[in-house]
Amino acid sequence: MGDVEEMGEVVEEHSWDSPDSGSYEAAMEALSSFITRQKRGDKSVALPGKYSKLERMMMYIKVLGLEEKISGLRIIHVAGTKGKGSTCAFSEAILRECGFRTGFFTSPHLVDVRERFRIDGLDISEEKFLQYFWDCWNQLRDNVTEELPMPPLFQFLTVMAFQIFTCEKVDVAIIEVGLGGRRDSTNVIKEPVVCGITSLGMDHTDVLGDTLEKIASHKAGIFKPNAPAFTVPQLPEAMDAINERAQQLGIPLGVVSPLRCEDFNGLQLSLAGDHQFINAGLAVALCKSWLQHTGNRGKLFAKEDHKAHLPDAFLRGLSSARLSGRAQIVNDSIPKCSNIASGDLIFHLDGAHSPESMKACAKWFSEAVKQHKNSTLWSPVNSFCTNQLTDAHCQNGFGHAENGNHSKNVKQILLFNCMDVRNPHVLLQQLITTCASSAATVNLFFADGYEAELIYSITFILKNLQCLRSSS
């Protein structure tokens, strides 16, 4: 999942005085003042001053006195188009199970901004969030100049993550890139222990370039001298660019194969989908390298047989890692209503936002639906909202099943991510094609003036769900 806050750099003018209250609500109001308004690709307006984004990031870090402290963090830095959040989640869980105090910075959040900052596998507490938020806010506000304005949202959160992890004295910090790599706000890390690049695809082309080679070059921009790097199998043009960067720095580059079912001693990956075997394989390589380069090689082999399956701590981590909104299934029971038969809603949540990630998402969705006996596959919920749909097309926000199976009344709903800069039809076509190849049939909604790929907005669906819940 890309992070939209990294796309623009314009901050609207605000009064940067601290709110009267130090409450969580006040912090959220203050945080909203950082949100950028520049659209992607619009370079007509930018933050004032002569400094680049990374130069300003270093200035913010110096204001907070973090420069030397960050150099003491033992960091795993991960970029990629698909799977970087999952790879980081697996890595965090593995090293936590190895007995280390972990910090994990991820983006974007699903419900609460505190999800972006994890300590020992848990979202940072509200109390600690407020402590670190106002500390960073006040120090940066007190040092605002014409050349150094308050930062945009993602830059602020990145600086705050470094503040949290250094103050909390984590043993390892797993840092997920926001967007790209070379010019990403996280790329102020000078001495990571190890770097990783997940699967690459055509995404954010207006920012990163219109070829896979250019995109890969941006991602490989996180590589640093003396830090080994790992990636997964890539298309030749992407692999060439990654190899070139590694050779320029004189660092080893490992290409990691996906894990296999037999590697797990009967356990299952905690994150669903065949693509997660790729992410898990990369996470294992990153963690092994981190252990080896931090003097913890003994954690790799608790047993004498060095050729045994993965260490028990690795298996526990791979089977317990969590990441909200990635191949996540949430069940929500509906109470009996006068205008709808009682039944269940089953939400399938995934951050798919590119054709490549949608293909993986659709494979997972199809398998999950087929495993649910007598269930009906329902249209994904995301993009358009219309009042033109009639009762013949929908009832209470849901389409009618065409197979006559109304008795179970189970509604399978896929929620995925499509920002306004993307073409939803491209994602939908990939979804429909992949579902069809997996022998799963999608019931399409449609209305006059729209093509068959028409789907509802999340707001529209949630409004209807609230009506259902409030019905007696």
**Global pTM value:** 0.76
Strand partners, 126: none
Distances (CA, A) of 436 to 40, 357, 358: 34, 17, 14
Instruction: Determine if residue 107 is labeled as part of a ligand binding site.
Output: yes
Distances (CA, A) of 246 to 160, 212, 409, 420: 30, 17, 54, 35
**pLDDT lower than 70: segments of the chain:** 1-21, 36-49, 301-308, 333-344, 351, 353, 372-409, 417-423, 438-472
- Residue for token digits 């579902």? 435
- Cis peptide leading into 252, omega within 30 of 0? no
Instruction: Determine if residue 469 is labeled as part of a ligand binding site.
Output: no
Domain boundaries, the chain: 4-318, 328-470
Q: Does domain 4-318 fall into CATH 3.40.1190.10?
A: yes
Quickly count: other Cβ atoms within 10 Å of residue 360's Cβ.
23
Q: Are the C-beta atoms of residues 276 and 175 closer than 8 Å to each other?
A: no
List, in order, residues 6 or more apart from 147 with CB less than 8 Å away. Answer: 48, 49, 50, 51
Q: What pLDDT is recorded for position 301?
A: 66
Instruction: Give the side-chain half-sphere CA count within 13 A for 97.
Output: 21
Please list, residue by residue across 220-243, b when 16 or more beta carbons sit within 10 angstroms of its beta carbon and e when fewer do. Answer: bbbbbeebbbbbbebeeebbebbb
Structural tokens at position 72: 């003491």
List, in order, residues 6 or more apart from 438 with CB less than 8 Å away. Answer: 362, 363, 366, 367, 370
Instruction: Determine if residue 125 is labeled as part of a ligand binding site.
Output: no
Q: What pLDDT is recorded for position 46?
A: 54
Instruction: Determine if residue 141 is labeled as part of a ligand binding site.
Output: no
Instruction: Determine if residue 304 is labeled as part of a ligand binding site.
Output: no
Measured at the CA of 136, the angle between CA 131 and CA 142, to 5 degrees, comes to: 125
Measured at the CA of 85, the angle between CA 170 and CA 243, to 5 degrees, comes to: 95
C-alpha 168/C-alpha 348 separation (Å) is 34
Q: What pLDDT is recorded for position 456?
A: 43
Q: Are the C-beta atoms of residues 228 and 282 closer than 8 Å to each other?
A: no
Q: What pLDDT is recorded for position 345?
A: 76
C-alpha 133/C-alpha 31 separation (Å) is 9
Q: For the segment 271-320, what is each residue's pLDDT rounded down to a tens digit?
A: 988 889 999 999 999 999 999 999 998 887 655 444 457 999 999 999 99
Q: What pLDDT is recorded for position 419?
A: 63
Q: What pLDDT is recorded for position 400?
A: 35
Q: Are the C-beta atoms of residues 394 and 400 closer than 8 Å to each other?
A: yes
Quickly count: other Cβ atoms within 10 Å of residue 12's Cβ.
10
Q: For the segment 252-274, what is each residue's pLDDT rounded down to a tens digit?
A: 999 999 999 888 888 899 998 88
